[in-house]
Amino acid sequence: MSTLARQIAADFPILGKKVNGHPLTYLDTAATALKPLPVIESVTHAHRELSANVHRGVHQLSREATDAFDRSRETVQKFLNAFRSEEIVFTSGTTASINIVANTWGRSTLKAGDEIVLSHMEHHSNIVPWQMLCQVTGCVIKVAPINDRGELIMEEFKALLNERTRLVAVNYVSNALGTINPVKEIVVAAHAVGALVLVDAAQAVACLPVDVQDLDCDFLAFSAHKLFGPTGVGVLYAKYALLKSMPPYFGGGDMILSVTFEKTIYNEPPYKFEAGTPNIAGVIGLGRAIEYVTSLGFDAIGQHEKMLLKLASDELSRIEGVRLIGTAREKVSIVSFVIDQVHPHDIGSILDSEGVAIRAGHHCTQPVMARFCIPATARASFSIYNTEEDVARLVGAVHQVRKVML
């Protein structure tokens, strides 16, 4: 077992669970990461000791909850290296964050003939909101193609950029292929034609350092549950000048300065975009998850996951009939594959009977599946708590698939 996995093994109690009589082998982190004890305990503590609303009460319990909530915003700011904490908006997840940008900046800025550039490897959450925006504004989507390895073809991406390009929306890491996109180069190219850039960092934040000032992206979104935090919490980062100029998306409490029946004066960012009672315990849990990941260090995380990626890719490639989908030179520890004459759903079901949890399906990336002329893939995604033994169990279970199905 690697040093990192040995160090944190006891932090993830669910790994002691048995599935169908087998030890759990959890290889579905790309869908949602397991939660370590420090995060679980922080959420429990928030409910038990800080069960009050934030930014409203003057009593001690409310002050304590507000302090903990606001500390999480500062933790996210430092984690992303945002210029100021007011650039951090708490949302319900990556999907909500992207929809906020589409329905505020997009609706107030874009017009017929304007162009949005996406990559062919985007998650549906970074496609559908822009399609909906196009129906309202008349703007147009252009799609940058990918090659057979699952890499963005940068020459063709850059050829799509012109004076009509207003936004480039691209994932940092593909959830279906594991590809790491050259985001910094993408931002430079987009800014050269006056376009803004939104980065979907949902798959990146748990395994790569993300520095928004270094990237110089205009918007960035991620979800807590991909980062070993709670579900139902996410982050929208945006440059402060953009947040200041954007209209609010939801109306209600805490996003206002004053309300009369004749007029409402909106609060300043980020509160302008945080109407209603937030997921207080979830936000506090996100802050603790960031502290947990930061304490491990991205160098150690990257080294561990690269080892697992190479081991799994090499071992699966040796199995007759197995074909890897997504072999980018730069990728994270996501291994998508198909087996000749076996549907991925059957692969997933048989692996589950062996206690191996993977994802089987189109992964909310149907255009990616169409690009590779397949209906779906089986996807094994590795993380900090996985081991070489987990790879061996995956490989053994794939051999069992072939034995049962072929």
Of the residues 263, 294, 325, the one at which a domain ends: 294
134 is catalytic: no
CATH code: domain of residue 135 = 3.40.640.10
191 and 336 share a domain? no
**Residue 82 covered by a domain:** yes
- pLDDT value of position 6: 77
Q: Which of 294, 315, 333 is the last residue of a domain?
A: 294
Residues 194 and 305 in one domain: no
Residues 210 and 344 in one domain: no
85 shares its domain with 22: no
Task: Output the pLDDT for position 181.
Answer: 98
* Same domain, yes or no: 305 and 227: no
How much is the pLDDT for 162?
98
In sequence order, what are the residues at sequence separation of 6 or more whose Cβ sits closer than 8 angstroms to the Cβ of residue 124? 364, 365, 366
Task: Identify whether residues 156 and 98 lie together within a single domain.
Answer: yes
CATH number at residue 388: 3.90.1150.10
Cis, peptide link before residue 270, omega less than 30° from 0? yes
Do residue 242 and residue 319 come from a single domain? no
Catalytic option among 139, 217, 364, 373: 364
Residue 35 placed within a domain: no
In a domain, 152, yes or no: yes
Q: Which of 254, 278, 294 is the last residue of a domain?
A: 294
Residue span of the structural domain in which 368 resides:
3-30+297-405
| Residue-by-residue pLDDT tens, the chain, 406 positions | 677 877 888 999 999 999 999 999 999 999 999 999 999 999 999 999 998 899 887 898 999 999 999 999 999 999 999 999 999 999 999 999 999 999 999 999 999 999 999 999 999 999 999 999 999 999 999 999 999 999 999 999 999 999 999 999 999 999 999 999 999 999 999 999 999 999 999 999 999 999 999 999 999 999 999 999 999 999 999 999 999 999 999 999 889 999 999 999 999 999 999 999 999 999 999 999 999 999 999 999 999 999 999 999 999 999 999 999 999 999 999 999 999 999 999 999 999 999 999 999 999 999 999 999 999 999 999 999 999 999 999 999 999 999 999 7
**Cα(38)–Cα(291) distance, integer angstroms:** 9
111 in any annotated domain: yes
Q: Is residue 353 part of a domain?
A: yes
Tokens 């904490």 belong to 85
CA atoms within 13 A on the CB side of 168: 30
* Side-chain-facing half-sphere of 124: CA atoms under 13 Å: 6
Would residue 172 count as lying in a domain? Answer: yes
Residue 345 neighbours by CB distance under 10 Å:
13
Structure tokens at 153: 């073809």
Same domain, 9 and 128: no
What are residue 330's phi and psi, to 5 degrees?
-115, 110
What is the chain's length?
406
**Are 23 and 167 contained in the same domain?**
no
Q: How many folded domains does the chain comprise?
A: 2
Same domain, 391 and 249: no
Q: Does 146 fall in a domain?
A: yes
How far apart are alpha carbons 167 and 184 in whole angstroms?
Answer: 15
pLDDT value, residue 406:
75
Shared domain check, 254 and 119: yes
Asked if the structure places residue 233 within a domain, the reply is: yes
CA-CA distance, 43 to 230, in Å (whole number)? 8
The reported pLDDT for the residue numbered 1 is 65
Q: Is 259 found in the same domain as 317?
A: no
